[in-house]
Amino acid sequence: MDIEVGGQIQGISLGSFLQIVHMDKTTCTLKIYSNDDIGYLYLKDGALVAAETGHLANVEAAYEILSWNKTVIIIDNAPIPNQNIKLSLMSILMEGLRRKDEKNAQMGTEVEEVERKELEIEFDPDTYQSKDDQIASQFVVTPARSEEQPQLPDDSERTEKPLKMADKAPVSVPPFLPDLPVDAIPEDDESGSGAAGAADSDMDTPFFEGEDERISGQKVSLFARIKRMGLAIGVAAVLIFGGLHLYGIYLGKSNYNRVIDQVKSQKDLETMKSVLGTYINSQDDSNPYLPDAISKMNDLNDLIKVENSIRALSLDDNYKAKALGQYDGFLSERRGTFLEDYVKEKEAEIPKSLEAYEFKKLAVIEKRSRSERMKAYKEFLMAYPESKNIQVVKNLISALSDESYAELTQEYQACAGAGRWDSCVRLSDAFIRDFSDDARISTVMESRKKMADQMELERLKAKSVAMGFEQAKKMFIDYMADNPEATIKKELRDQIGMLNQKIELQAKWEETASYCRNTQIDVSQRIRELKDYMDRDNVGMYKREADAMLRDLKREERLGQARMAEYLREREEKEQYARVQAERDRVLQERERLRQNESRRKARDQKLGEESRRMAKMLGDSGGRFRANSDKTVTDTRTGLTWCMVDSYGSEGNCMDFDSARDFVRSLNTGGYRDWRLPDSGELAMLYNSRPYYPSSGASWYWTLRSSSESWNASDRAAVFYPDRKDEFEQVFKNKSDCGYVHAVRP
């Protein structure tokens, strides 16, 4: 990597930038700014050799610089001192990042504690009143004090002294009672009340003096009503005070449940203990929920001891089992405790406590094999998917994959040059196994497939050496059939083609050798045949035998050269004569054909002209319906259709089948038109069966364009029209192979 002095680097973390410098083995000095802090990191060939900041130097200075936030990196030109740091860069990075996380966590905890104290509200169970309590208090009835209705005594007064009429204030009479003087209501004595007491007393004065019996009866009825009213008031008072007592019990239970819910909502045990302690201290000994609260306080104290014991454990491979064992031991003695959810959450957080320990272990495996390091990195990502160090580990994996891919690329070139495909296949398998999520995995898999196929091709070629040509060819063909996705199809086809060539050359050599040994064949021909074979034998399979045979044939050729020259001259003369005679015969045949065609054309034109003149003369008597045109066409002014003036019967004289009839109208150019067609039955009926009739040419029936494939009949039939049946019109079908005539129409 090229580093430019004075360049400022932002948008990348210091740790990530150091990893890049380490991978590229760069030598440079980095000047690091963070707020008011300045530090220097000296790197040589990618390794950290020295560091300084403030009063710190070397390793401690590196740790301090790596723990800074919001850093700005500047490439400085300061000289690099001697190496004072012996630790690897990866170990320093991991320790520096750990200290940075601890510093950030401590700063975050202090802020959170200040915010919690500012927002914390002290809970007082004696003064706390929920919304439900406020609503319920509206329904508690408080007797009103007034001059007309006296206040009822409380329960204590009611139990100590019976309620007497004499002790009560004058009572207002309800409106439904008769208007009587208040002093007419009798007073209770010690022995009884109402009319019964008055009847049993020895008083000399009557109960109501001066009143008649009717008034006396009304007084007794009024007293009974007042007595019943007092009894109802007493019962109502008992019900009210009993309801208030039960509501007080309900409020106590509801208040305790709210305290427990508030305790369970806290995030740490000390706060739980503080809330529950406040409730316990505010209650007297008569509270029925106080023993349960004290029991829960004991559970809290025991759990605090368990957590203190867990905090004292060392972070190692046995930490998780020990911590879970202590939590499980606590829960096993307190099934259904209100702290069970808290404990379950803490158990779930135990793996997070191991994260720093496991992350620190990654720094000591730098010298292990690539597969072991990759396995450790993947296990960390799987165990801690939410880790704050996740990007660091991913960077390590990325660096490891880059290193492995670079090595694999170099090895590919070596394998291609030396043909050592098995080594590259093993390296590719390792990359696919260790870096399955790498973006280049498809490229590696494709290259691995190609190399594996190349290795198999070398094996097949080595095996084919000991086989015959036909057997080797069959082996390659069978392999292609069994491996349709192979990437060496071209090479296999080349091998098969080469074997075919060898098989052909072998057969051709045997054939050529036999041919060249045949003295009945001209020696020149045998020499040419042998040379043709030698030209095709680019692999030189039988070159030595062919060269020896060629020398013998050339010797024979020189001996019979004169005879061969004479033979060739005579043959050339014969061939020349044959060619001249053949050309003469061809010219004569062509002239005869043209003569016959011209004769037929003249006869046809003559016949067509005569027929056209005859038809034109007959059409002149049509009363103006048919207009004969000079181009041998006629126009039906009633339908607007243009017809050939002469049908095929008059122009050709020969009948034709249905397919020939269609071809006939397609090839017509009468009048210079190329859109002639077969008419339908209705068009022919309008022409021949509608007065004035079109003159008949003598044809018995015409083909129409309608095929029987449009009907329920077989598809090998077509509709025809009889021009002489003027009194009847019936759809008639004939076989398409029958022979009929055509009267063409357009458009």
Structure tokens at 427: 């390296």
- Between residues 380 and 672, the one the model is more confident about: 672
Percent of the chain residues past pLDDT 70, beyond the cut: 78
Tell me, yes or no, whether 270 lies in a domain. yes
Write a three-state SS string for 218-247. Answer: HHHHHHHHHHHHHHHHHHHHHHHHHHHHHH
Tell me, yes or no, whether 519 lies in a domain. yes
Tell me, yes or no, whether 334 lies in a domain. yes
d(CA 535, CA 505): 11
* Residues 415 and 474 both lie in one domain: no
- Of 23-37, 319-333, 627-641, where does the model show the most confidence? 627-641
Instruction: Answer for the pair 370, 404: CB distance below 8 angstroms, yes or no.
Output: yes
* Residues 501 and 544 both lie in one domain: yes
Write a three-state SS string for 441-507. Answer: HHHHHHHHHHHHHHHHHHHHHHHHCCCCHHHHHHHHHHHHHHCCCCCCHHHHHHHHHHHHHHHHHHH
Which of the listed residues 334, 353, 372 is the one where a domain comes to its end?
353
d(CA 142, CA 285): 29
Q: What is the pLDDT of residues 95-124, one digit of tens each?
A: 888 888 888 877 755 544 444 443 333 434
Q: Residue 519: in which H helix or E strand, if any?
A: none
d(CA 567, CA 24): 84
Tell me, yes or no, whether 439 lies in a domain. yes
Residue 336: domain span: 256-353
d(CA 643, CA 649): 14
Tell me what pLDDT residue 241 has: 63
In 3D, which of 97, 100, 99, 92 has the Cα closest to residue 21?
A: 92
Largest CA distance in the chain: 198
Least reliable range by pLDDT among 190-204, 525-539, 622-636, 665-679: 190-204
Instruction: Answer for the pair 426, 127: CB distance below 8 angstroms, yes or no.
Output: no
Which of the listed residues 559, 582, 616 is the one where a domain comes to its end?
559
Q: What is the pLDDT of residues 327-349, one digit of tens each?
A: 888 888 887 788 888 888 888 77
Tell me, yes or no, whether 231 lies in a domain. no
- Of 37-41, 302-306, 508-512, 700-704, where does the model show the most confidence? 700-704
d(CA 235, CA 282): 35
Tell me, yes or no, whether 708 lies in a domain. yes
Q: Which residues of 732-741 are buried (b: 16+ CB within 10 A; e: fewer)?
A: ebbebebebb
Q: What is the pLDDT of residues 356-406, one digit of tens each?
A: 777 777 777 777 777 788 888 887 878 777 777 888 888 888 888 887 788
Tell me what pLDDT residue 235 has: 74
* Residues 491 and 430 both lie in one domain: no
Give backbone dihedrals phi and psi of 389, rounded to 5 degrees, phi first.
-95, 15
The total of other beta-carbon atoms located within 10 Å of residue 133's CB is: 14
Tell me, yes or no, whether 523 lies in a domain. yes
Residue 351 in this model has a pLDDT that exceeds 80: no
* Residues 14 and 115 both lie in one domain: yes
Residue 665 in this model has a pLDDT that exceeds 50: yes
Q: What is the pLDDT of residues 490-508, one digit of tens each?
A: 888 988 888 888 887 788 7
Least reliable range by pLDDT among 24-33, 70-79, 313-322: 313-322
Q: Specify the amino acid at residue 239.
A: L
- Between residues 9 and 126, the one the model is more confident about: 9
At residue 232's C-alpha, the angle toward residues 230 and 235, to 5°, is 110
Q: What is the CA radius of gyration of the chain?
A: 62
Tell me what pLDDT residue 220 has: 52
Q: Would strands 56-57 and 72-76 be described as parallel, antiparallel, or unpaired?
A: unpaired
Residue 200 in this model has a pLDDT that exceeds 60: no
Tell me, yes or no, whether 67 lies in a domain. yes
Give backbone dihedrals phi and psi of 47, rounded to 5 degrees, phi first.
-100, 140
Tell me what pLDDT residue 125 has: 42
The angle, 0 to 180 degrees and rounded to 10, between the axes of the packed helices 543-559 and 523-536 is: 160
* Residues 523 and 460 both lie in one domain: no
* Residues 26 and 114 both lie in one domain: yes
Tell me what pLDDT residue 734 has: 92
- pLDDT band at 556, cuts 50/70/90? confident
Least reliable range by pLDDT among 294-303, 405-414, 466-475, 678-687: 405-414
Tell me what pLDDT residue 167 has: 38
* Residues 474 and 449 both lie in one domain: no
- pLDDT band at 137, cuts 50/70/90? very low
Instruction: Reduce the DSSP state of residue 388 to 3 states and report it.
Output: coil
Tell me what pLDDT residue 738 has: 94
Q: Region 511-520: what's the mean pLDDT?
A: 87
- pLDDT band at 6, cuts 50/70/90? low
Instruction: Answer for the pair 645, 622: CB distance below 8 angstroms, yes or no.
Output: no
* Residues 404 and 448 both lie in one domain: yes
* Residues 394 and 440 both lie in one domain: yes
Edge-first strand listing for the sheet containing 642-644: 626-628, 633-636, 642-644, 745-746
How many distinct structural domains can be found in the chain? 5
Tell me what pLDDT residue 722 has: 93
Where residue 641 sits, what CATH number does that domain have? 3.10.100
* Residues 413 and 348 both lie in one domain: no
Least reliable range by pLDDT among 126-130, 177-181, 270-274: 177-181
- pLDDT band at 245, cuts 50/70/90? low
- Of 7-11, 90-94, 273-277, where does the model show the most confidence? 273-277
- pLDDT band at 709, cuts 50/70/90? low
d(CA 645, CA 626): 10
Tell me what pLDDT residue 148 has: 39
Please name the residues in contact with 326: beta carbons below 8 A apart, sequence gap of 6 or more: 306, 309, 310
* Residues 628 and 678 both lie in one domain: yes
* Residues 725 and 637 both lie in one domain: yes
The total of other beta-carbon atoms located within 10 Å of residue 534's CB is: 18
d(CA 22, CA 122): 56
The total of other beta-carbon atoms located within 10 Å of residue 651's CB is: 24
The per-residue pLDDT of the chain, averaged, comes to 77
Which of the listed residues 76, 99, 119 is the one where a domain comes to its end?
119
Asked whether the whole model's pTM tops 0.75, one would answer no
- Of 71-85, 305-319, 475-489, where does the model show the most confidence? 475-489
